[in-house]
């Protein structure tokens, strides 16, 4: 068996920043450190931090007053920030700057009197946070069919934004439908889908034609990981999303000559290496690293933690 190992893959700059933030907070302030929602959408990352003393919550009423609280990489609505202040929580904002960008755009468009079409997945933490910035002005759509059913008060004051972890192709299809139906619609100055999401999808597009099957390392609740699996299937090859090597069913690979391995933006490299070791052990696999483009992006820590980093 031949394994093509895609690059770029795995952690993005926003995930690295959020994970480093939680590590620093635990080391500096002791435990428990509370986190609103999962720090990133990866089961193993969450379980590792739970073992270190992090407590993940979905309701700030369960967080004792005066505790340290970290906002996850996906961002939160203003209401959560307000509740944190009311409960005198020491809040540390580890929201990915690319998500913050979308929040700012939503506020700007809403204040200018626009109705905003947000392209994204209902119930996703990032979407909930963005919609919370201007709930009266934002309409969520997930498909081109929903665009056809849209009813807006003023088609000449219409804008669109997107969740940062969408399929690039799916988002473009919906944007084309919006522009066809509402020619006056405006978008953000720079597209919202993040660089890491685009780069990982590009690597799958380029490399999948050489493979019989793709393994995507990532958790089931990871939007960008799900998109990688779906992209492989759209390109005509079998695709599987696995949390770790334990999830690999060897029967998937019984007649497979070439496997493409990649990882979503919230999946640790250690899990990728475990999967590669499994393929080497079970199938005598040889591994070829294929790099589509280089990434050299980093984000600063939240201001509450920068002094700790320097010390």
| Domain membership flag for residue 187 | no
190 part of a folded domain: no
Q: How many domains does the chain contain in total?
A: 3
Interatomic CA distance for residues 251 and 249, integer angstroms: 5
Q: Which one-letter DSSP state was computed for residue 300?
A: P
Asked if residue 168 and residue 119 are part of one domain, the reply reads yes
Residues 155, 107 share a domain: yes
Same domain, 68 and 152: no
pLDDT attached to residue 311: 52
Same domain for 177 and 114: yes
Same domain flag for 129 and 152? yes
Active site residues: 126
Which CATH number covers residue 61?
3.40.50.11270
Assess contact for 53 and 26: CB atoms under 8 A: yes
Verify that 216 and 283 share a domain, yes or no.
Answer: yes
Please indicate, yes or no, whether residues 240 and 207 belong to a single structural domain of this protein. yes
Domain match, 62 and 103 both: no
| Mean pLDDT per 10-residue interval, the chain, length 311 residues | 97 96 96 96 97 97 97 96 97 97 97 98 96 97 96 95 94 96 95 93 95 97 94 93 97 95 97 98 97 94 82 52
Among 151, 181, 211, which residue terminates a domain?
Answer: 181
Query: Pick from 116, 149, 181: which residue ends a domain?
Result: 181
Residues 92 and 107 in one domain: no
Residue 150 lies in a domain: yes
Q: What is the DSSP letter of 299?
A: -
CA neighbor of 117 nearest in space, from 61, 169, 155: 155
**Domain enclosing residue 134, as ranges:** 98-181
- Residues 137, 216, single domain; the answer is no
Quick check: is 132 in a domain? yes
Residue 189 belongs to a domain: no
Q: Is residue 186 part of a domain?
A: no
Give the neighbor-by-neighbor strand order of the sheet with 90-93: 54-57, 33-36, 68-71, 90-93
- Residue 84 CB-half CA count within 13 A: 21
Same domain membership, residue 128 and residue 43: no
Token pair belonging to 144? 């081109």
Distance CA 133, CA 135 (A): 6
Q: Is residue 230 part of a domain?
A: yes
Residue 36 lies in a domain: yes
E strand or H helix at 239, and its extent? strand 238-242
Same domain, 247 and 174: no
pTM for this entry: 0.92
CATH number assigned to the domain comprising residue 118: 3.40.1010.20
- Given 118, 149, 181, which residue is the final one in a domain? 181
């Amino acid at each position: 068996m031949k394994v093509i190992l895609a690059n770029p893959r795995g952690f993005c700059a926003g995930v690295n920043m959020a994970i480093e933030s939680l590590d620093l907070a635990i080391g500096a302030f002791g435990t428990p450190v509370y986190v609103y929602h999962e720090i990133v959408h990866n089961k193993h990352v969450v379980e590792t931090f739970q073992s270190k003393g992090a407590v993940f919550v979905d309701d700030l009423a369960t967080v004792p007053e005066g505790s340290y609280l970290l906002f996850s990489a996906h961002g939160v609505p203003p209401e959560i920030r307000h509740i944190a202040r009311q409960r005198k929580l020491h809040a540390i904002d580890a929201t990915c700057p690319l998500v913050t960008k979308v929040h700012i755009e939503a506020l700007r468009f809403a204040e200018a009197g626009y109705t905003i079409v947000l392209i994204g997945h209902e119930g996703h933490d990032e979407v909930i946070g963005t919609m919370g910035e201007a709930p009266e002005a934002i309409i969520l759509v997930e498909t081109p069919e929903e665009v056809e059913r849209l009813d807006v008060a003023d088609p000449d004051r219409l804008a669109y934004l997107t969740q940062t972890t969408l399929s690039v192709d799916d988002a473009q299809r919906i944007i084309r439908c919006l522009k066809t139906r509402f020619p006056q619609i405006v978008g953000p100055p720079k597209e919202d889908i993040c660089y890491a999401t685009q780069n990982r999808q590009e690597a799958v597009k380029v490399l999948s034609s050489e493979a019989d099957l793709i393994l995507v390392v990532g958790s089931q609740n990871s939007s960008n990981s799900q998109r990688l699996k779906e992209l492989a299937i759209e390109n005509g090859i079998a695709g599987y999303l696995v949390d770790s090597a334990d999830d690999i069913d060897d029967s998937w690979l019984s007649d497979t000559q070439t496997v493409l391995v990649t990882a979503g933006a919230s999946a640790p490299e250690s899990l990728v290496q475990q999967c590669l070791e499994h393929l080497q052990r079970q199938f005598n696999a040889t591994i070829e690293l294929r790099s589509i483009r280089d990434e050299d992006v980093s984000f600063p820590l939240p201001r509450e933690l920068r002094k700790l980093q320097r010390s």
